[in-house]
Every structure is written in structure tokens, then in C-alpha cells.
Amino acid sequence: MQRYEDRQWRDAMRIRVDYNNMLRPYVGEMGLDAAELTARVGQYAAAAAAMEAKRDSGMKWRNLPYNQGQVVQKLLEAAGYVRENFDTFVVLGIGGSALGPIAVQQALSHLRYNDLPKERRAGPKLYVEDNVHPERMASFFDVIDVKRTCFNVITKSGSTSETMAQLLLFTEALRREVGEDWSRHVIATTDESKGNLIKIAKENGLRTFYVPDGVGGRFSELCPVGLLAAAVCGIDIKELLAGAAYMDELCTEQDIHKNPAYMLAALEVLAMEKGCNIGVLMPYADSLRYMADWYAQLWAESLGKNKDLQGNPVHTGQTPVKALGVTDQHSQVQLYTEGPFDKVVTFLCVEKYREEVAIPHVFDGIPDVSFLSGHTFNELISSEQRATEYAVTKSGHMNKSIRLPEVNPFTIGQLLYLFEVQTAFAGELLNINAFDQPGVEEGKNATYALLGKPGYEAKKRELDAAPAKEARYII
């Protein structure tokens, strides 16, 4: 029996949400009144009903913890193939196709994974190339052996300019280095039936995985988009999905006071109404630092909308800010304690770290230093988190905590799913479409036009007709 099959173990690994410090008894007049939550019980019930109604239509990502048995087996087989034949595994993707794999790898692998010797790694080195800076692209060839590298190109549409440009670059390099054998070095993750990448995959015999229908990029980490890279690096993807399924159980609760995702969403929306248009996610673990990057896209791209579902102008959304405890105690927390009341801070805490490191007795003759001796770095970082939470609360600024018993595939699966449901529920409360990104599409279309993509001639004329910049405003 796997440990995640043991109910007692699963319950011991349950993530907890503590929102005491969002309320007035703790932060004073700038906090929320618990009665505000009770007063909106009808709105919350309607949003919960909408969530369930959309589960098998607009929110098919909610079924990913349950319906991928065969896919998971194929992913594990592909991961074994990569580990046996390659020294390096490279993800080519952007947005959710990159941020999710980065976050999960950082969370669940050795923190210096790529720096370890081969015999100490669970798989090949992992790189996620999510930008097209020319210097970055050129320099990459200095750190990989193309002949010993497998590339996973990820784009559901097959039209993502950045990703497809990377595919062109590395395909040409592979053809030069390994000739006709190049296709065994490329794995495609894309739509099953439409788009340019599936066409390329079929014509060249690429190993292929599919992004399920109804699963958008920022909600795709728990499908082959994220699971393949995790499996290649030796992460237990079955346990990851089991964690998501466990959180799904908690998130089917209709009572907002018993549903952690619904409560998180409701608190953020109420805070937004009070002028808190900035949300800070502050992990107290290096393993979780890139979870804030993944969350930032999920929250910003889903909720930043200029129209509601009826077409009325709303210009809603909350700006996500990433911070890292304890590093950013020394760069950002001054603002969070004494600055404007326009932020909600969410602390991401770990109760038990995977390592324990003692602080030794060295300079015992210096009291201002020696008080640290005999403690552990575990005690230090936990004390720093508690102290920062106290300071933010004392200053009257709303904050809350999400606590992980430990960082493992089960708890990370919970966390990913928790944030996804939170985001979708917030979209329901805000009466917006949380699953489109028209602002992003506008930039994509402009890029196509500038590079001469057929069918975008009108957009090119629109760009050319924009007012010319004036030299007097350039200093």
C-alpha cells in the first residue's frame, strides 16, 4: 500500500488555512468583520452551485486527479525512456507550460538538483526555457550536449510564437548533430486534433502527449504539461495527483466555512472591495519560492478583466506580488508593516522541513551572537515567520497563513489544486470569465502582425497607424 492510500496519513498531511489575522479582533478597524462573510451566504451558495455545474464543462481541469490512469502509465514509461537515454531534459514552453514545471521541480527535488553529480540525481538535468532572449538562447548551447538532450515542446495551440521559435532552433541543431534520428529527441505536448504542433508531431513520428479539452494553460500542471517533467526527475506523480484528489474532497464542501479554497477566495474578494488591490504570497521555504511565480500567473491572468459576464466595464483584479521569507523581510516587509493598507499578505508555511541543521557553538563569548547557538536553522526560520506575521498583524494589515505539514508530492498536489479552485471561485464572485485572456491575445496578435504572419495584415496596418512617438518626450 502506498502511503497516500492510508487515510490516517492523508489526514495528517492536510493543508490548513488560518485566517484569524484577516479579522478585526486581530488587526483592528482595517480588518474584516466575520459578519460580512455570513451576510453573503446566498452569494457564496450560488457561486458554489455554479462551480459544480461547470465541473464537466468549463472546469474540466477539476477531473485531472481522477481520469488520467492510462496517461500516467504512459508518462512513467516515457520518463523511463528519457532517464535511460539522455543526460538533459529541456522543457520548451511559456506561461503555465513553464511556471508549473519549475514550481513543482523546485518544491520536490533537491534544491541544487542540476548541480548534483549524475549518480545523486533522480533523473537528467532539467531546464525550463521560458524566454526568448537571444543571449539566453545562444548561451544554452554552451551548457548542454544536444546529442544527449531530450526536448519537451509544450503548446496546446501549436501557435505560441516563443515556443515554436525555440522548436525551430533546437530541431535545426538536432538535425545537424544527430541527423535523421532527431525525432527521438523530441516529445510534443499539445492538442490532440488541431494546431501546428500536432501536425508536426504526426508527420515526424514524435512521441506525443495531449492537453485535455477544457484545460487551459494556467490550470494544466496536473496533466502531461507538468507531470512529464516531474516524472522524469523522479517525482511521484501518482502521489501528486492523490494530493489534488484529497483537496478536491475538501473543496466539494458547500459551506464556505468548511471549504478552504472558497474561504480564501471570499476573503480576497472582500479585501479587494476594501481597497486591497495587491496580494502578496510569501513562502517561508526555498522549496516553495517558485510556487509564488506560478500562483502569480494563475491569479493575475484569471482575474484581471475589464468586463464582467454581461459585458459591463469592471476593470477588476488584484496584483499578485511574490516575496520570499526570510529574504524579503529585509527588502519588502517595511512596506507591508508601515505602508498603505492596500495589501493582503499570505504566508506559506512549512511545519516540518526535510532537513534539520544545527547552529553550532563557535563564538560563545559574544552574547549577541551566542544566543543563536544550540538552536537550529529550522527554529530560526520558523521564528522569523512567526515574528513577521506578528509585526504585520500588529501594524493593522490583513494577513493569513497556509500551512503545509511538510513538503512532499501529496501536499504540493493539494496546494496546486487549492489555488486553482480558489481562483475559479473568485471568478464566480467577481462575475467574470476566469478562463480567458483577451489582453494576452492582443499582444500575441500584434507580435504575429509585426513578424508578418499571414492573416494579420489588418493588425499590421493598425500598428502602423498608431501615433508616432515624439522626440521631445525621449530624454
Report the catalytic residues.
Answer: 301, 330, 444
Q: Which of 53, 126, 45, 113 is nearest to 83 (CA)?
A: 126
C-alpha cell at 441: 491575445
Helices 196-204 + 161-178 axis angle, to 10: 20
* Helix, strand, coil content of the chain in percent (nearest 5): 55, 15, 30
For 16-38, b/e burial (b = at least 16 CB within 10 A) is ebebebbbbeebeeebbeeeebe
Helical segments of 395-455, H only: 409-430, 438-450
Contact 422, 261 (CB under 8 A): yes
Q: Which of 252, 253, 311, 325 is nearest to 55 (CA)?
A: 252
Q: Evaluate the omega torsion of the peptide bond into residue 321 and state whether it is cis, within 30 degrees of 0.
A: no
Contact 256, 41 (CB under 8 A): yes
For residue 65, give the amino acid letter. Answer: P
